[in-house]
Amino acid sequence: MKKLALGLAAAVSLAFAGNAGAQGYPNKPVTMIVPFAAGGPTDIIARIVSDHMSKTLGQQIVIENVAGAGGTTGITRALTAAPDGYTIAMGHLGTFSAAPATYPNLKYDPLDGMQAIGLAGGTPILIVARKNLEAPDLKAFVAAVKATPDKFNEAHAGLGSVSWTTCTLLKGQLGVPKLNAVAYRGTGPALNDLVSGQIDFMCDQIVSVAEQVKAGTIKAYAIASAERSPALPDVPTTKEAGLPEYQIEAWNGIAAPKGTPKEVVDRLVDALNKALNDDNTKKRLLELGTVLPTTAERTPEGFSALIKRDAAKLDPALKAAPK
Amino acid sequence: MTEMFAHLGLGFGVALTLKNVALCFVGCLVGTLVGVLPGVGPVATIAMLLPITFGLDPVGALIMLAGIYYGAQYGGSTTAILVNIPGEATAVVTTLDGHQMAKQGRAGVALGTAAIGSFVAGCVATVVIAALGAPLTRLALLFGPAEYFSLMVMGLCFAVVLARGSILKAFCMIMLGLLLSTIGTDLETGQERMTFGFAPLADGIDFAVLAMGVFGFAEVLRNLENPEARDVVRQKIGRLLPDWNDIKQSTAPVLRGTFIGSILGILPGNGAVLGPFASYTLEKKIAKDPSRFGKGAIEGVAGPESANNAGAQTAFIPLLTLGIPPNAVMALMVGAMTIHGIIPGPQVMTKNPDLFWGMIASMWIGNLMLLVINLPLVGLWVKLLQVPYRLMFPAILIFCSIGIYSVNNQPVDVAFTALFGLFGYLLIKLGFEPAPMLLGFVLGKLMEEKLRQALIISRGSFMTFIERPISAGLLVVAVAILVIALLPSMSKKRDEVFTE
């Protein structure tokens, strides 16, 4: 009897604590799990955005880097935490849209098993090649790859990475899914071998390759976005260059565990929106070549739709890819 | 030449402002103090302290982060010498003779030698970066996967020479290290290997976990077996700083170590880890009496420590001239630069000359700071050894646990370390050396990765390793090392040398 009473008391106090948490949210620091190492593109966007979100929330957002398994370790930890808004995650195209088709044993469901908060920023993808590759433009490159796929080597930053995901989509669309792919541990080493000409081409985020393209150490065939980027105004879009179906952006966005109270979600959406409207935050994001999200994409519904759209787009290519 | 001095003038103009000197000092001090925590290496330290640089201007922030980097690098050798715990892969070699020196009451001399050696190496490496940074970049670009694999093969041959006991046991330990390095997700296919479906193993075993376990925890277990013996060590303190004789003995090793470390530091893919191993191998090979090595030879501290520091500095070359980070720490520096609005690329030198030359100048100032901070600290560290062991070992275990947790924020890592501690204790009891295992472990990951990259590019042809001249040259050196180690006539001498 005593045990039961104690249990009841605990349950009641827990219920109240949960309630109070939602009402006075946030009354302690919020942990934002970044599923990659500090200093990477996702980490940088998380730090810039959370810096301003902390001001709106009145509580510090603490970044915790939990790297591993293409980001799925960190996202698993975030999405299995208590749905109280004190643990959120900054994921990206790979962890939210590509992961279900990439990792058969995925322990979370980004499509139906989580609470999307909003998109923080999109990063254009570029098709880049070693500077002395014969093909002068995208059309010639596509023709050469289709004609002699076994003469090309593609570099990527490891299975599940943005460069692997986006290049697998490209290879799928070109009908050469088995083209020779060389895996590296991260974009840095892959870029090193592209600059030195050991490898023929790769796809990666503009922030990683823009400076090399500007310096002429590698060449860019096209940018896979609807519009050219102010960071590299001379690089044509895939539409202009003759491959309109290849449209993909690496984006970063915030999500919370499923079941997070609506008031908490609203507070986070509001804080994200205010951060993205802040001039200084905007300036820092634009310097990275980031495309700012539309008003719709800053909402849970809009972000969730984006996740599902890209998952559907990537699914066939990723499932067909040799793993 | 005049151009270089003009550039350095600009750099010192930037780095010598009161604010930047202060930031450099703070960085070096914080780096040293945090680096002394076992397991907390430069990567964890910089990642943790990155946010506090947000309010600074980019040059100041990077000067401070660079200070933290070499401060932490240096702090790692302090624990290697005092308590036999290598915080970083590069400090493994320092435990071999550095900790033996500490046991003989020469901890102060070992720490002093490491500090002075690092300072000399840092100064030389700074000049190398300033004078040859741009041309040396080409060296980094000459190294493709095939060359890199051959370099690793050469590195593994060093491991044979590292062994103090029997060659057969050392060979077994190298193989075990290689095997341990293959645990985790396959890079090319994404398949999990030897993880038994256990999620925490999916990314393999972290170096810090293995090293803390087989060195740190195992050492504690061994000492607890016989606490009185450990307490005898602390009575003998001896001189705090190296005397003229020590300096004479270590001058040549410091210079050779600096040369080796500078070259290897430039290579992409963390070539710097080979530096201390290569330097130790060289010193042992050319020593008049190689049997002193592993028993507290000062050359075994001076050479590798210099190689370590020189490599740490020249690793900035690919970052600053190519915009490509050669290792995890430099990748973090890229992040730091990006957060401060400077996206690294081949044009940093021309677009941000104040940043480029300011950082180079600050490296020299930072090295001086490290000397200024560390020489007085030597006395303090050595006094730590006088703390009774019953108070010391819980502190070591707690700090190790904190350090390991901070690497990946994964509690299970701490449990793994404890397991490796038991395993390490077993190894000690059976007379196996853990150092060759760690070398095999560190090189194994890189080796497999580069082997497979090279073979994918060559469409499966092993001839790629022989057809490419640099790769072939490295393999010849590797064969030569093995032949020297295994020739029957030499082997007799080696038996005297290697069997205790």
Q: How far is CA A296 from the centre of its chain?
A: 18
**Contact between B203 and A69 using a beta-carbon 8 Å cutoff:** yes
Task: With beta carbons under 8 A apart, name residues in chain A contacting B324.
Answer: 188, 191-192, 195
Statement: residue A294 has pLDDT above 90: yes
CB contact, 8 Å: B324 with chain A?
Answer: yes
Which range is least confidently modeled, A2-6, B21-25, B260-264, B417-421? A2-6
Phi, psi of B194 (to 5 degrees): 55, 35
In terms of CA atoms, which chain A residue is nearest residue B206? Answer: A68
Task: With beta carbons under 8 A apart, name residues in chain A contacting B456.
Answer: 153, 180-182
pLDDT for res B411: 87
CB contact, 8 Å: B337 with chain A?
Answer: no
Nearest CA of chain B to the CA of A142: how many Å? Answer: 20
**Residues B411-428 pLDDT 10s:** 899 999 999 999 999 998
* The residue count for chain A: 323
Alpha-carbon span B475 to B470, nearest angstrom = 9
pLDDT for res A323: 67
**Contact between A211 and B346 using a beta-carbon 8 Å cutoff:** yes
Nearest CA of chain B to the CA of A4: how many Å? Answer: 33
Model confidence at A20, pLDDT cuts 50, 70, 90, reads: very low
Task: With beta carbons under 8 A apart, name residues in chain B contacting A107.
Answer: 199
Query: What is the sign, positive or negative, of the torsion defined by CA atoms of B86, B90, B92, B93?
Result: negative
**Contact between B332 and A38 using a beta-carbon 8 Å cutoff:** yes
**Range with top average pLDDT, B158-172, B178-192, B343-357:** B178-192
pLDDT for res B269: 65
**Range with top average pLDDT, A267-271, B44-48, B402-406:** A267-271
State mean pLDDT over B56-74: 86
CB B66, CB B351: distance < 8 Å: no
Query: What is the sign, positive or negative, of the torsion defined by CA atoms of B346, B350, B351, B355?
Result: positive
pLDDT for res A145: 96
Statement: residue A16 has pLDDT above 50: no
Phi, psi of A254 (to 5 degrees): -105, 140
State mean pLDDT over B176-189: 89
**Contact between B334 and A66 using a beta-carbon 8 Å cutoff:** no
In terms of CA atoms, which chain A residue is nearest residue B146? Answer: A198
Q: What percent of chain A has pLDDT over 70?
A: 93
Q: Which of A184, A215, A287 sits opposite B346 (nearest CB)?
A: A215
**Residues B282-308 pLDDT 10s:** 898 888 888 888 888 999 999 999 999
In terms of CA atoms, which chain B residue is nearest residue A323? Answer: B189
CB B152, CB B450: distance < 8 Å: yes
**Contact between A191 and B334 using a beta-carbon 8 Å cutoff:** no
Task: With beta carbons under 8 A apart, name residues in chain B contacting A158.
Answer: 187
In terms of CA atoms, which chain A residue is nearest residue B456? Answer: A182
Statement: residue A10 has pLDDT above 50: no
The complex's ipTM works out to: 0.83
Closest CA to B297 of B246, B251, B255: B246
Q: Which of B142, B191, B409 sits opposite A66 (nearest CB)?
A: B409
Model confidence at B234, pLDDT cuts 50, 70, 90, reads: low
Phi, psi of A278 (to 5 degrees): -75, 130
Alpha-carbon span A86 to A83, nearest angstrom = 8
Q: Which of B45, B319, B324 to mutate to test the interface with A (most CBs of A within 10 A)?
A: B324
CB contact, 8 Å: B52 with chain A?
Answer: no
> Between B353-384 and B18-36, two packed helices, what is the crossing angle to 10 degrees?
40
Tokens coding B26: 């703070």
CB A182, CB A154: distance < 8 Å: yes
In the stretch 84-123 of chain B, residues with CB closer than 8 A to chain A read none
**Residues A233-275 pLDDT 10s:** 999 999 999 999 999 999 999 999 999 999 999 999 999 999 9
**Residues B123-155 pLDDT 10s:** 999 888 888 877 777 777 888 899 989 988 888
CB contact, 8 Å: B408 with chain A?
Answer: yes
Size of interface A-B (CB pairs under 8 A): 141
Evaluate if pTM is beyond 0.90: no
Alpha-carbon span B418 to A59, nearest angstrom = 36
Alpha-helix residue ranges (DSSP H) falling in A152-299 = 162-174, 187-195, 206-215, 238-241, 262-277, 279-287
Nearest CA of chain B to the CA of A182: how many Å? Answer: 6
Q: Which of A43, A69, A211 sits opposite B335 (nearest CB)?
A: A43
**Contact between A189 and B140 using a beta-carbon 8 Å cutoff:** no
**Contact between B187 and A158 using a beta-carbon 8 Å cutoff:** yes
Nearest CA of chain A to the CA of B202: how many Å? Answer: 7
**Contact between A65 and B409 using a beta-carbon 8 Å cutoff:** yes
Q: State whether residue B83 is helix, strand or coil.
A: helix
Nearest CA of chain A to the CA of B417: how many Å? Answer: 18
Model confidence at A56, pLDDT cuts 50, 70, 90, reads: very high
Helix (H) or strand (E) holding B404: helix B389-408
Model confidence at B400, pLDDT cuts 50, 70, 90, reads: confident
Helix (H) or strand (E) holding A127: strand A114-130
CB contact, 8 Å: B137 with chain A?
Answer: no
Closest CA to B174 of B478, B460, B432, B468: B432
CB contact, 8 Å: B269 with chain A?
Answer: yes
Helix (H) or strand (E) holding B185: strand B184-185
Tokens coding B94: 């320092």
**Residues A73-127 pLDDT 10s:** 899 999 999 999 999 999 999 999 999 998 888 889 999 999 999 999 999 999 9
**Contact between A198 and B46 using a beta-carbon 8 Å cutoff:** no
- Return the higher-pLDDT residue of B378 and B252: B252
**Contact between B339 and A214 using a beta-carbon 8 Å cutoff:** no
State mean pLDDT over B29-53: 78
Tokens coding B161: 């020479």
In terms of CA atoms, which chain B residue is nearest residue A211? Answer: B345
**Contact between A159 and B188 using a beta-carbon 8 Å cutoff:** yes
**Residues B107-121 pLDDT 10s:** 889 999 999 999 999
Beta pairing class for A201-205 and A249-257: unpaired
**Range with top average pLDDT, B131-140, B271-280, B345-354, B465-474:** B465-474
**Contact between B323 and A212 using a beta-carbon 8 Å cutoff:** yes
pLDDT for res B80: 87
CB contact, 8 Å: B444 with chain A?
Answer: no
**Can the peptide bond before residue A26 be classed as cis, meaning omega within 30 degrees of 0?**
yes
Q: How far is CA B38 from the centre of its chain?
A: 14
Nearest CA of chain A to the CA of B209: how many Å? Answer: 15
CB B253, CB B113: distance < 8 Å: no
